Amino acid sequence: MTPFDYVRAGSMREAVELRSRSPNAAFLAGGTTLIDLMKGGVEKPSLLVDIRRVPDLDYIKVSSGKASLGALTKNSDLATDPALMKAAPMLTQAIAAGASPQIRNMATLGGNLLQRTRCPYFRNQAFACNKRSPGSGCAALTGYDRGHAVLEGSSQCVATHPSDLAVALVALGGEIQAEHISGQRNIPLSEFFRPPGETPWIETSLQRGALIVFVETDLPPEARRSVYLKVRDRASYEFALASAAVGLHQDGSRIIGARIALGGIATRPLRFATAEASLIGRTADEAAFRDAAAIALGEARPGRENGFKVELAKRTLVKALKLASELQQ
Ligand code: SF4
């Protein structure tokens, strides 16, 4: 591990000021991704700013139409919060589907959103990777791409985003509030995750050195009748091959509102507004769900070994919608 300095921040302002002193500094919260990457030499911060004792960043507030979630709230607390479970099951199910109980006890909301890809080439310095080393190339484009993206990949990167929670948050919508040395800024969740394009190492719209303070997620009528369904190679402690966060608002069997986001198949968590719109006014049945899935995956461009993900994602979405339609509103 590359040597680094360590400092503990006592407030949000102190945290961003400390981080602004070094261009290569990083915030330390749960550390469940960062420390692994530091041990592997992938991340080499010169300064760690420990934010774990910054007050007022660990809370869950659920009100009508919104939920405010502090950035230092543990994933284990989010996954088991009774009010959140009732208001937006897709959110708590997504968190519970991620990692292991031990990791969820350490990992935080802010860190979950900023976790790095699980592309094996990113974590292995023997291979070219534009995310790890800008301009070095992308080994996945000519290598083993079974776990990689079938949507939104670029000629520079085809890595998938690893977070389950982010898929549910993108489905629900809302915004992220961040503290920066120059002040506070709100970033819509729909604009937070960036497609790779020519700069895959820039993964979010967060300003360099900014600290996520809280996420304010919308709780539309579709949130109560919602599901997160994750398909993976083994039943626990594994990342998604395909996942779906869906919510339905129905008048009897007629759909009057829908939310759809998919994970595991694209370079960022993606919401599918056209597929959602295709469901409005239709009876909640398999034919409608299949049509929505065909629309959602219509632009898929698989690589050599991940073509199965297209059908897998469609089936995951259809199953998730079916499960949501069977819930009491
Ligand atoms: Fe790196 Fe992205 Fe290519 Fe993986 S897919 S090797 S993360 S550039």
The domains found in the chain, sorted by start residue, are 1-54 (3.30.43.10), 60-114+163-218 (3.30.465.10), 222-325 (3.30.390.50)
Compute the average pLDDT of residues 95-114: 96
How does pLDDT run across 257-292, given as a tens digit for each residue? 999 999 999 999 999 999 999 999 999 999 999 999
Sign of CA dihedral 50, 56, 62, 65: negative
For residue 329, pLDDT beyond 80: no
* 172-214 pLDDT tens trace: 999 999 999 999 999 999 999 999 999 999 999 999 999 999 9
Ligand 1 atom having least distance to the Cα of 121: 6
61: pLDDT strictly greater than 80: yes
pLDDT at position 298 is 98
Residue 8 burial (CB count, 10 A): 15
Three-class DSSP category at 94: helix
Backbone angles phi, psi at 235, to 5 degrees: -75, -20
Q: Ligand 1 centre and the CA of 194: distance in Å?
A: 15
Give residue 26's pLDDT band: very low, low, confident or very high (50, 70, 90): very high
Q: The whole model's pTM is what?
A: 0.97
Give the three-class secondary structure for 271: strand
Interval 124-152 mean pLDDT: 97
Give the phi and the psi of residue 18 in degrees, each rounded to 5.
-60, -45
Q: What is the pLDDT at residue 95? A: 97
- The DSSP bridge partners found for residue 262 are 244, 270
Whether 243 and 228 have beta carbons less than 8 Å apart is answered as: yes
CA of 123 relative to ligand 1 center, distance in Å: 9
Catalogue the long-range contacts made by 18-27 (C-beta closer than 8 Å, 24 or more residues apart).
18/47, 18/49, 19/47, 19/49, 19/181, 19/209, 19/211, 20/181, 20/209, 21/47, 22/46, 22/47, 23/208, 25/49, 25/209, 27/51, 27/211
DSSP 43: -
pLDDT greater than 80 at residue 322: yes
pLDDT at 142: 96
Decide if pLDDT at 166 tops 90. yes
How many Å lie between the centroid of ligand 1 and the Cα of residue 203? 12
* Average pLDDT across the chain, whole number: 97
Q: How confident is the model at residue 141 (pLDDT cuts 50, 70, 90)?
A: very high
**pLDDT at residue 236 in the model:** 86
- Phi, psi angles (nearest 5°) of residue 204: -135, 170
- % of the chain residues with pLDDT over 70: 100
**Atom 3 in ligand 1: residue holding the nearest Cα:** 138
Q: Which of 133, 150, 157, 199 to mutate to test the pocket of ligand 1 (most atoms within 8 A of CB)?
A: 157
Bridge partner residues of 298 (DSSP) = none
* The pLDDT of residue 328: 81
Q: Which residues line ligand 1 (CB under 6 A)?
A: 117, 119, 121-122, 129-131, 138-140, 157-159, 200
pLDDT of residue 58: 98
73 has a pLDDT exceeding 90:
yes
Ligand 1 pocket, mutate which of 37, 42, 122 (most atoms under 8 A from CB): 122
Q: Is the pLDDT of residue 71 over 90?
A: yes
